[in-house]
Homo-oligomer: A and B are copies of this chain.
Amino acid sequence: MNYDDLPHLRITVSDGVASVTLDHPPFNIMDGGMLAALRGFVHRVKNDPDVRVIVFDSADEEFFSAHGDMYFLTDMAALPAALEAFADAAPGVSVPDDVNPLEALNLELRELPQVTIGKLSGLARGGGNEFLTYLDMRFAAIGRSGQAQPEAAQHILAGGGGTVNLPRLLGHARALEVLLGGELLDAELAERYGLINRALPADEIDHFVSDLAHRIAQVRPEVVAAIKKVFEASVPSADTAVYQLEGREGMGVYIPEVSAFAQRQLAAGVQSDRNVERDLEATLRAL
């Protein structure tokens, strides 16, 4: 299978492992182009017999993915084109009612026959961190990674799957803290809270994840499928209706002030200034 035409992603396949590097400067924003590219990848790789495991990482040392596209909040006119690009990325595959592109990507990623792994070194916030929660497993580099859901401070919902996934990974108490408090979690805290599988030394994570991925790539696909099937019977994943509720609630909390505040964030350097993005928490408190 050839993936060279997919923008924003650098993809190599070797020994059953696809390495997918997000490469969409300046911050791997989860914008319309990135979501369409990821969806295009998902719908191609699902039929690729050469791929058993998919590892996602970032070309940017500091940012895995800064967050979703702020322009979706300031410029509603940008939405139809993004939705069309998302639809075109998987012709003939419909998205359930009330489910937005991030949620749809979540649902489609978890249907993949392959095993998906996130390797996090750098920052993942908002839609970028929600994307990580869609994957089967996640590992983060100690001293390098940071994860946060800043949406509540932006007066919106983490409505791209995060509000569905976080109580499942962290339990109600910690998920509510993360979603409402907006704190940046380092790797160790993310491990203790269950947001990642494990925090790993920064100089070991590459080897660890590569080793794990190649080991899993040797497992028979029938065994992987059997495990996932029993898991679903034992602890069912959230069904589509929960994503639809999240999608509707996400739209429901939208008010014009959200757009005005997003404008102020953009004016302050969000989505353009590296220093501002590094400490988004401070920026949001100051605004």
How many copies of this chain sit in the oligomeric assembly? Answer: 3
Which residues of chain B are near A227, meaning CB under 8 Å? 152, 157-158, 163, 176, 179-180
CB pair B222–A245 under 8 Å, yes or no, is no
Bound together, the chains give a CA A114 to CA B177 distance in angstroms of 13
Which residues of chain B are near A76, meaning CB under 8 Å? none
CB pair B231–A249 under 8 Å, yes or no, is no
Say whether, besides A136-B172, A152-B219, A157 and B226 are in contact (CB < 8 Å).
yes
Say whether, besides A173-B136, A212-B177, A230 and B253 are in contact (CB < 8 Å).
no
Nearest CB in chain B to that of A172: its residue: B231
Contact with B along A168-184 (1 / 0, CB 8 A): 11011111110111110
CB pair A245–B223 under 8 Å, yes or no, is no
How many residues on A have C-beta within 8 angstroms of the other chain's C-beta atoms? 64
Q: Is A7 an interface residue (CB 8 A)?
A: no
Which residues of chain B are near A172, meaning CB under 8 Å? 136, 231, 235, 237
Q: Is A267 an interface residue (CB 8 A)?
A: no
CB pair A164–B242 under 8 Å, yes or no, is no
A residues engaging B (CB < 8 A)? 115, 136-138, 151-153, 155-158, 163-165, 167-169, 171-177, 179-183, 189, 191-192, 194, 197-198, 212, 215-216, 218-220, 222-224, 226-231, 233-235, 237-238, 241-242, 245-246, 249-250, 252-253, 285
